[in-house]
Structure 1
């Protein structure tokens, strides 16, 4: 397999696996502590309003629904995970994916919290870093922990990928 194809395959496998780990963490929190995860239909709703020129909402939950918003949101969620995995590999190299170490995965995982804090939450009406939510500190901590789980997922998925596709 040439390196470009290997990069794409590993990014897809690692990003998908890491996103699944993050979703499993969310499911664990929902079942054990009754903490609801993000409704990815809201992501689809947000994206669905882009062609109408609407990029920010006072409250995304009250914005008009978009046809197909749930699948659009979930596809976007996993696509974003793959893009972040590709970014990790672009910075640390394909060799990292072949022989992964924990620190780069955690650095990238924690760095990904920038997107929801400074793009999605303000666009959803929650303010920068959840500043307009009922309990911003709790929302921020949950966001950090969730993205830490994504970093752990990057590492675990990279280990699995390296085992499945040794070079």
Structure 2
């Protein structure tokens, strides 16, 4: 398989791990699951030229926004996996080291903090939410799990 294909698979593994983590948090701690419908609405509005919303909930709904959000979520995860492996190269797969993958996974939260969150009207790094630090910590934990899932995928592929 090509490096890109292997990276895409790793990214999907990481995204699945992140989603399993979200289900666990919802069931055990009562933390609401991510609203992929809002993300889908945001993605659809990108195509209409709007990047930043005061509140995505008040923006015009779009058909199949939840499906769009889920597809976007997995596409981004897959692209992150391909990007990581593109940076590290095929040689990294012969002895997958978690540390660079974890650092990369933590860095990917920047796209959420500085593009997606303000785009949804939540402010930079969730600054406009009731508990921004709680959301930030949960995001860092989720991205750690994303990295762990990508690493497990790499180990399985190796």
- Per the normalisation by structure 1, the TM-score is 0.90
- Do structure 1's residue 50 and structure 2's residue 46 form an aligned pair? yes
- Do structure 1's residue 93 and structure 2's residue 89 form an aligned pair? yes
CA RMSD of aligned residues (A): 1.2
Structure 1 counterpart SS, 2:39: helix
Q: How many residues were matched structurally?
A: 158
- Do structure 1's residue 108 and structure 2's residue 88 form an aligned pair? no
User: 1:123 corresponds to which residue?
Assistant: 119
User: 1:33 corresponds to which residue?
Assistant: 29
Query: Is there any run of 5+ residues in structure 2 with no aligned partner, and where?
Result: none
Q: CA deviation at 1:29?
A: 0.2
Q: Distance in 1 between matches of 2:74 and 2:94?
A: 22
1:144 to 112, 128, 140: 140
- The runs of at least 4 consecutive aligned structure 1 residues that moved more than 3 Å come to none
Q: Distance in 2 between matches of 1:102 and 1:96?
A: 10
Q: CA deviation at 1:62?
A: 2.4
- Per the normalisation by structure 2, the TM-score is 0.95
Q: CA deviation at 1:93?
A: 0.9
Q: CA deviation at 1:35?
A: 0.3
Q: Between the two structures, name the one with larger relative contact order (CA 8 Å, sep ≥ 6).
A: 2
